[in-house]
Amino acid sequence: MNILLTGGLGNLGSRLLIPLVRRGDRVVIFDLQDKPFIPSDEFNQCKLIRGDLTDREAVIEAVKKEQIDSIFHLGAILSAQAENERDKAWTINMEGIRNTLEAARLGEVKRFIFSSTLATYGGGLPSPLDIDSPMWPVSLYGVTKVAGELLGVYYHNRFGLDFRAIRFPSVVAPRGMVGGAGRFTSEVFLEAIKTGSYEFYLRPDSSIPIVYIADAIKSFLLIHDAPEQNLTRRSYNIHARGVTPAELETVVKARMPHVKITYNPEPVQTAMVDSWPHSLDDRHAREDWGWQETYDLDRMADEVIETLKKELNSTDE
């Protein structure tokens, strides 16, 4: 199968390409950059098209020329960066999905997977959050993702495109997201190992739902491969558990007691994280396509720390 991965060099994309290549898919990456966030042998087997998602002709050409069967649309500006660069985020996130959907229509793409977010929901909502709760996001990032989902469902209803979206919580990884307000869930481990200290830009009790990277990648494959007749909706939530900076401090100190943790809440990012739901209703993903997390907090922390220590030791040598 020919798969187009927009934003395929980023945190999630450079990891998602690995199982796709391993199972025999031909992966074409469409990204602004030229180096993957996570290097791999599998990356070297992908075709890289350096391009801008705001350039519609370039996206259409990639889809048609490469005879793409499925698209994973990951290219975007993330939450914290979007607040600082609003025009850029609006253009890339809005034009990016519009152009990619249009390219999918023209190229008769069979399946379209969109990487959405819990930031589509607004603040003050009950927990666990019902999946059909109103979506009135607080952040510009969330606004662009709601619009992306609505546009994808429009393409499904109007043109029959098999559009599917996952609303991810904060994805924890050994080297995690860079531009998102939820980056502390990964950053704390890296900084603890590298520098022996970490300052949270949130309160100790700011709560956020998380999922571990391996489970997030698994969910992309599950939703992509699910038979269409199993789907009861087009957008799904997934979630493993909620976590606070205070809980992460406990987990980190249990493994590295010397680490110094401090708190210095930054108002914009604190308000953003506070506005997100603490726990999501993801039973539809569990029932329709077998979503199930395999990492709890301890297993996740052990794997993140072990991976980072190995990586940092090998770069020291």
Ligand X SMILES: NC(=O)c1ccc[n+]([C@@H]2O[C@H](COP(=O)([O-])OP(=O)(O)OC[C@H]3O[C@@H](n4cnc5c(N)ncnc54)[C@H](O)[C@@H]3O)[C@@H](O)[C@H]2O)c1
246 three-class SS = helix
Please give the Cα distance from 30 to 9 (Å, whole number): 8
Give the binding range for ligand X (CB under 6 A) out of 150-158, 179-187, 246-254, 260-268.
179-187
Check binding of 144 to ligand X (CB under 6 A): no
Among 27, 177, 208, 308, binds ligand X (CB under 6 A): 177
Check binding of 200 to ligand X (CB under 6 A): no
Quote the longest CA-to-CA distance of the chain: 58
Nearer to ligand X, 50 or 286 (CB): 50
Chain Cα centroid distance, residue 126: 23
Give the binding range for ligand X (CB under 6 A) out of 7-15, 20-28, 232-240, 266-274.
7-15
Nearer to ligand X, 170 or 207 (CB): 170
- Identity at 130, one-letter amino acid code: D
Site string for ligand X, 34-73 (x = CB under 6 A): ---x--------------xxx-------------------
Among 174, 182, 209, 242, binds ligand X (CB under 6 A): 182
User: 5: closest CA among 42, 65, 37, 48?
Assistant: 48
Residue 141 annotated to the active site: yes
Q: Please provide the DSSP assignment of 97-158 as one string.
A: HHHHHHHHHHTT-SEEEEEEEGGGS-SS--SSBPTTS----SSHHHHHHHHHHHHHHHHHHH
Binding footprint of ligand X on the chain (CB under 6 A): 7, 9-13, 31-33, 37, 52-54, 74-76, 78, 92, 96, 115, 117, 168, 170-171, 177, 179-180, 182
